[in-house]
Amino acid sequence: MGMETTGIKSFLQGIPSWVLAVITLIVVSIVLFGLGEGVGNIFKLNENIAGAIPYIILDVLIAAGCFYIVKWNPKSIWYIPLICNVLGIISAIVEPTFWKTWLWMFICGGWVISIIASIIGARVGKKSV
């Protein structure tokens, strides 16, 4: 009889990292658009504050996704932050007013946070292996 592990494996471990990144991108996009439409109306906030909150939440969710995906597969550190942030990257390239508004600070700040979270996830993942 062979040695069997008694640990419970997550169903996510069988899914490729790039698929998890695309799922993260889709979920975060849905959350962003939902919050973008509702936060200001629900809480009666200043337009600038109501516009910033969804992007802050977006950055945190993307960073968390990058951390966990790269933690499970440390080799994926090279492409997971790119896939998860592809909407921000495309908007930086395509949107003519991107760099003229305050929006770039939140998007680019999110890129930095997701890269840092990915590096931390890779280090934690390497130590646990």
Question: What's residue 71's pLDDT?
Answer: 94
- The model's confidence at residue 119, banded by pLDDT at 50, 70 and 90, is very high
Task: Return the closest-CA partner of residue 69 out of 58, 56, 57, 82.
Answer: 82
| Average pLDDT value for residue range 41-47 | 62
The model carries a pTM of 0.80
Work out the average pLDDT over 34-42.
64
Closest to 21 in 3D by CA, of 56, 90, 72:
72
Tokens 């130590």 appear where? Answer: 127
